[in-house]
Amino acid sequence: MEEAAISTSTSSAPATEPAVELEGITKRFPGVVANRDIRLTVLRGHVHAIVGENGAGKSTLMKILYGMQRPDEGVIRVNGSPVSFRTPGDAIAAGIGMVHQHFMLADNLTVLENIILGSEPRKGGIGIDFAAARRKIKEISDAYGLGVSPDVLVEDLGVGARQRVEILKVLYRGARILILDEPTAVLVPQEVDELFDNLRGLVREGLTIIFISHKLDEVLRVADAITVIRRGTTVASVDPGDVTARRLAELMVGSELPSPETRESTVTDQVALAVRGLTVRAGDGRAVVEDVSFDIRKGEVLGIAGVEGNGQAELVEAIMGMRPAEGTITLDGADISAWATLRRREGGIGYIPEDRHRHGLLLGAPLWENRILGHQTRRPNVKGPWIDRAGARADTERIVREYDVRTPGIDVDAMALSGGNQQKLIVGREMSSEPVVLIASHPTRGVDVGAQAAIWDHLRAARARGLAVLLISADLDELIGLSDSLKVILRGRMVADVDPATVTPEQLGSAMTGATAEPADQLPAASDGPERLGSAAAEAGEEA
Amino acid sequence: MSSSFTDRLLGRVRLGGVLALAAPVLAVVFAGVVTSIILLLNGNQPFQTLGLLLDFSATPSIQVLILNTATTYYISALAVAIGFRMNLFNIGVDGQYRLAVLVAAAVGGAVTLPGPLHVGVIMLVAVLVGGLWASIAAVLKTARGVSEVISTIMLNAIATGFGAWLLTPGRLAVLNGNNVGTKPIGPSGHFPGIALVSGTQAKVFGMIIVAAVLGVAYHVVLNRTRFGFDLRATGRSETAAVASGINVKKMVLYTMILSGAVAGLVGLPQLLGASYSYSLDFPAGLGFTGIAIALMGRNNPIGIAVGALLWSFLDNSNDILDFNGIPKEIVIIMQGTIVLSVIIAYELVHRYRAVAEQRRVSRQLSTAAPTEPQGAAV
Amino acid sequence: MTVTGLSAKAPAAPPAARRLTLNWQVALLGVLALLVMMSLARVVTGANDITSGGTIGAAIGLAVPIGLAALGGLWSERSGVVNIGLEGMMILGTWCGAWGALTFGTPWAGVIAGTIGGALGGLLHAVATVTFGVDHIISGVAITLLGQGVTQYLSKLVFVGMKGGGETQSPRIPPIETVSVPGIGTPLRDLANTHVFLLSDLAGVLYGVTQNVSLFVILAILLVPLSFYLLWRTAFGLRLRSCGESPVAAESLGVNVYLYKYLAVVVSGALAGLGGAFLSIVAAGIYREGQTGGRGFIGLAAMIFGNWRPGGLAGGALLFGYTDALQLRQGGTSVHALLLVVAMLLAAFAVYQLVRQQRGRAALFTGIFAVLVFAVFATTDTVPEQFTSFTPHLTTLLVLSLASQRLRMPATDGLPYRKGQAT
């Protein structure tokens, strides 16, 4: 365990007293320690960033600060006095507000209703004073330039506008300390810029902002102070002026970040999967994937880079036959465009879904039944119309062994396993049918570092055996390291081809945001907008 | 393989088996306590009441009655359970069986065929009508997104009106004295009874064998076949089913029709074993009893059998209570309480199991994380 | 609808044109158009009962229990709890209503007792679904079974000993006062009896809504705007609805989700119980076993028909009450005449689809459907009486199959929710 190196630095801004202090916060869950001896001091009027990898314990920490979880040990002080939050209501009363990563908004209620919920202005006892609410929302919206109109249904708003509603929601409650949990994860670059403008406006008014992120370039742009969390504990507090993205990345990942690099090319010239002119339309007829074409050869990993929500999920579902699409898809020479999902799977497409709980597993079923899922027409799971229990069970044992799924047995329900072990089971299952093509959607999202390395190893090994892989990931490090070729998707279109051997995360990041929607050959040249969305962690990994 | 067997023995069976049994037993005991309180409030002795019921049910003729009614209940509960296994609520078993048995009775009365064939035709008609009627709800759900809960309830009412229309002289009915009913089925269409209980002339419905076969088939199809796997997977997670290549709409269609087809058989023990004709006094409401029993038996063929017997015992032995000045409707309260407490007990056991299993897994794997799981302050 | 404050790159908001805004003028116009069609059908077929004062009065009376059940469904489902146990709560209401009225000698005591009986059923549903997380449908079915059992048992205990009572029914219940708008009854009736196009129909409808209206009916009607006010205009209602739309968001803002769900389901039961009490006290004047006849379920259908809105469900209840009333008054010919109205409505809808929505294919289907209904109307003289009994149910199915995609239920309706899910 590292010593917690805390050095509360004061920036050029006038030194003020602390708004929030955390001391020795520890939180245990059954089997794991989510937070351990967290120490943190946030000064009033600062944007204080908390950075760390996925699963480092940032979110748990914020839930503790917002009263959604109670710490097992430690002290929280707000404006100098110790507090103990039982519910979010207590935190709100203490002037703390939280903008959740997944918006806490009711789609079918208006903006106004969402904002005033829980602290409604009254009129004559029980009636809501809508006029007063509207006035106050307008006031706040104008004061901070949020541009929120109160009488629209939330479902009609875009992502950026929803986020501003969330911010207004906490300001409406008089919050002086705002927690923003991964606020940029769902935003496009322009929206990120707008958000940062909004945040600067808030800080000017004397508010304090705690900004949680793992995107270091963003953090460096907006933060007045940075605290790094690694494996559940605070490892450093630094001044953004004194630190480079690379140094920050090293602090964040420590030294054990496994490298996903695969440089020896195994690409053959046999096309395994060919996609031509694929277009997917949303319910309202808008194209969410537009005229996408690509080939994946045997032994090749094709990575798709893009900010989330630019059509990746729809592209994958169209290839899997889960979503109607125009265009042709050819698998190993056969036109599969009209095939149903099951036939495509039988034909040799393996699928690691983005959301394993919704699409990859039957959480309430034992592991061996999960082994059958998606392979319910193939040996060793079935014999004719019958389920071959012995065969499926034996093969599940094999997967558990070969893929190192940590479980007491194959009769345990899938929900009892940790995320990493669930994912290893899925990878093992999808590999065991000897697929021609593997669609891997965020294959290492939300899994621990050990499982991540194991999954990368399996992908590499399969690629060497001639598997074609379509890799979709938000982790640029993973993308650059694993892919033989890279394409950038933006607003449903493939906007650039990139050579993963030469591209830097910064360049990739700016291509993803559309800052340089140029032909591929221009990409490696320095672009005007470096460090937009590139994960500096990747840079560190690459240079290591 | 030996380790997995041990796991089953020590792990799942211990948690799942005993607890799964504990839930209904506790619920029945709880329902007994509630019923006892009601009885005591009205000045009746609970144990004396139970004694009366048990004594009466020891009569051979009542035992036959219990087995016969349980046969009907069992088939009805199976029909409901088929839907339940994929989260489909076929509340329409009631309408499906009534319409099916009406048409089957009319067809059976209209034709004369050699023995087994006659019975076979009647059963086939019942299965087809039941499935057809259920398919309306299935199509409405798959094509138009109408919840099967509402549509089957509405179809029950429509089946009642439609059945009444069919059951008029000149259509499917004839006048037997002053009772309107279908033309009685000839002896070749009777399902022979079995003299299972000694000491009485009454015979147990031969359809009890069909019910038993259905129970076995239900278990085998659901647990040992691909179709059953698809069905259960869809019930557990529709999204995962879609991703794994299961055509969910087709499964809804098939399952609903299958459920309706089995529902079509619900009235046949009575029709082929006792009444031989469908008239207005034919037992109604069996579909709802089936829902209750399927819930009690947790969609398990053996659990359903136990539930059906319990239900039938309460229904058939309660007549004795009225003779002793105890309102026999007390058993309906007991039945209602059993259902409600059974489902709550199952839910509690399920929650307990999920937490316990998660803890067990993390404890067994705690080599990596030395910290013992502790109760999180929630 | 104005959409401002959106950044340039926001996903396109769905076009507002599709949403039909319902205001007073449109509603009034719709009612008038409907009246014209019905009048036309009456003149063509001579089925004078379809707009007679008696039919309208009966329709309102029959709509009340359905509407109250629907209102109960609204309260519960707006908080995210599906309440298929309305039927059982209604059954409790019928029995308790009769018992209260007989025991205390005044029908209003029965109204209160029926409400309490239903509320107890609601409480049970809340315990099962909210506290124990039991599937809402399963719990509802169980409560309906329990309601039947309890009332049968209690009838035997209580009503058997009473004069005029028996195992399956109660003695006569003291009636509730009715009121009439004075002075216009006779002229309206006379005008209605002249069977003049439109004028007589208007008179018939006015007679039905102004003469011999039970005070209970007025109370029930008032509950619709009251529910709207409570659910949409108060902090209490906003919190309650937020539990049905996004309990996670509600909890994150300190709303006690369990409490609001409990309140909603108990109120839901109380309203269903009130509907039951209406059946025994006003509609029949007597408690009879099986009196609800599935009206709890119809109420649920009326609520879905009304798109989980008070005004809509009131319309649905009126529609079902009306079809129910028709079958009592020369069912065959009246329902037959109604077919013509349906055909006209469908034709009008087809034109609307074609002209306003430019949905050619949909319009074609609706048009064919209209022609079919008209063909049935033209080739038959009457609808068999057994068919009239399920007119409301068939209407429900048709409406749901035509409109289910346009309906919008609360986002987390029927989903289990456990405290702390947000974490």
Q: How many inter-chain contacts (B to C, CB under 8 Å) are there?
A: 130
Q: CA–CA separation, B168 vs B161, rounded Å?
A: 12
Contact A408 B244 (CB under 8 A): no
Residue C175 DSSP class: P
Q: Which of B237, B349, B374 to mutate to test the interface with A (most CBs of A within 10 A)?
A: B237
Chain C residues inside the 8 Å CB shell of A116: 238
- CB–CB of C305/C396 below 8 Å? yes
Is the pLDDT at A2 greater than 50, yes or no?
Answer: no
Q: CA–CA separation, C176 vs C98, rounded Å?
A: 12
Is the pLDDT at A11 greater than 80, yes or no?
Answer: no
Widest distance between CA atoms in chain A: 77
Here the tokens at position B286 are 């069996």
Contact C145 B335 (CB under 8 A): yes
Query: What pLDDT shows up at residue A269?
Result: 81
Q: Which residues contact A47 (CB under 8 A, 6 or more apart)?
A: A199, A200, A203, A209, A211, A222, A223, A224, A225
The CB-side HSE value for B227 (13 A sphere, CA atoms) comes to: 15
Query: What pLDDT shows up at residue B112?
Result: 82
Q: CA–CA separation, A224 vs A42, rounded Å?
A: 10
- CB–CB of B330/B321 below 8 Å? yes
Q: CA–CA separation, A275 vs A296, rounded Å?
A: 9
Contact C242 A109 (CB under 8 A): yes
Query: What pLDDT shows up at residue A12?
Result: 40
CB of C3 within 8 Å of any CB in chain A?
yes
Q: Which residues contact B167 (CB under 8 A, 6 or more apart)?
A: B102, B173, B180, B181, B182, B278, B279, B280
State yes or no: ipTM above 0.85: no
Here the tokens at position C246 are 């996004």
Searching chain C, which residue's CA lies closest to the CA of residue B84?
Answer: C138
Question: Which of the other chains make 3 or more beta carbon contacts under 8 angstroms with chain A?
Answer: B, C
Contact A69 C238 (CB under 8 A): no
Q: Which residue has the higher pLDDT, C304 or C85?
A: C85
Q: CA–CA separation, B235 vs A355, rounded Å?
A: 18
CB neighbour burial string for B100-115, b if at least 16 within 10 angstroms, e if fewer: bbbbbbbbbbebeeee
Q: CA–CA separation, A490 vs A310, rounded Å?
A: 5
- CB–CB of C250/A87 below 8 Å? no
Is the pLDDT at C374 greater than 50, yes or no?
Answer: yes
Q: CA–CA separation, C291 vs C276, rounded Å?
A: 9
The DSSP line for A133-175 is: HHHHHHHHHHHTT----TTSBGGGS-HHHHHHHHHHHHHHTT-
Chain A residues inside the 8 Å CB shell of C80: none
The DSSP line for B240-304 is: HHHHTT--HHHHHHHHHHHHHHHHHTTTHHHIIIII-S-BTTS---HHHHHHHHHHHTTT-HHHH
Strands A225-230, A47-51: pairing is parallel
Chain B residues inside the 8 Å CB shell of C142: 292, 295, 336, 339-340, 343
Q: For chain C, give the number of residues.
A: 423
- C-alpha B260 chain-centroid distance: 12
Chain C residues inside the 8 Å CB shell of A126: 230, 234-236
Q: A209: which strand partners?
A: A47, A178
**Strands, E, within C154-311: which ranges?**
178-179, 213-214
Chain C residues inside the 8 Å CB shell of B295: 138, 141-142
Q: Work out the percent of chain A whose per-residue pLDDT is above 70.
A: 84
Q: Work out the percent of chain C whose per-residue pLDDT is above 90.
A: 26
3-state helix, strand, coil in chain C (%, to 5): 70, 0, 25
The CB-side HSE value for B306 (13 A sphere, CA atoms) comes to: 12
Per mean pLDDT, which range of A487-496, A521-530, B342-351 is the poorest?
Answer: A521-530
Residue B9 DSSP class: I
Q: What is the pLDDT of residues A28-40, one digit of tens each?
A: 776 566 788 888 8
Confidence of residue A531 (pLDDT cuts 50, 70, 90): very low
**Strands, E, within chain B: which ranges?**
173-176, 179-182
Query: Under the phi-then-psi rule, with left for phi > 0, alpha for psi from -120 to 50, and beta for the rest, what region is C289?
Result: beta
Q: Which residue has the higher pLDDT, C347 or A309?
A: C347
Q: What is the pLDDT of residues C57-69, one digit of tens each?
A: 888 888 999 999 9
Is the pLDDT at C71 greater than 90, yes or no?
Answer: yes
Is the pLDDT at A446 greater than 80, yes or no?
Answer: no
Q: CA–CA separation, B159 vs B136, rounded Å?
A: 12
Query: What pLDDT shows up at residue C95?
Result: 94
Identify which of B140, B161, B340 has the shortest CB distance to residue C401: B140
Residue A321 DSSP class: T
Chain C residues inside the 8 Å CB shell of A169: 253
- Chain A: closest CA distance from residue C78 (Å): 11
Confidence of residue C76 (pLDDT cuts 50, 70, 90): very high
Contact A109 C4 (CB under 8 A): no
Strands A287-297, A349-352: pairing is unpaired
- Chain A: closest CA distance from residue B117 (Å): 29
Chain A residues inside the 8 Å CB shell of C246: 104-107, 109
- A496's enclosing H/E stretch is strand A493-498
Contact B378 C157 (CB under 8 A): no
CB of B364 within 8 Å of any CB in chain A?
yes
Is the pLDDT at A370 greater than 50, yes or no?
Answer: yes
* CA-to-CA dists, residue A342 to A272, A346, A467, angstroms: 18, 6, 20
- Chain A: closest CA distance from residue B232 (Å): 10
Identify which of A69, A92, A116 has the shortest CB distance to residue C423: A69
Which three-class secondary structure state does DSSP give residue A302?
Answer: strand
The amino acid at A392? A
- A20's enclosing H/E stretch is strand A18-29
Radius of gyration for the alpha carbons in chain C, expressed in angstroms and rounded = 23
Q: CA–CA separation, C288 vs C280, rounded Å?
A: 7
Confidence of residue A506 (pLDDT cuts 50, 70, 90): low
- Chain C: closest CA distance from residue A464 (Å): 41
pTM: 0.82
* pLDDT < 70 positions in chain B: 1-20, 364-378
Q: What is the pLDDT of residues C164-185, one digit of tens each?
A: 888 888 888 888 888 887 777 7
Searching chain B, which residue's CA lies closest to the CA of residue C160?
Answer: B327
Is the pLDDT at C233 greater than 80, yes or no?
Answer: yes
- CB–CB of A82/A18 below 8 Å? no
Query: What pLDDT shows up at residue C204?
Result: 80
**DSSP alpha helices (H): ranges in C127-214?**
136-158, 185-193, 199-210
CB of B351 within 8 Å of any CB in chain C?
yes
CB of B250 within 8 Å of any CB in chain A?
no
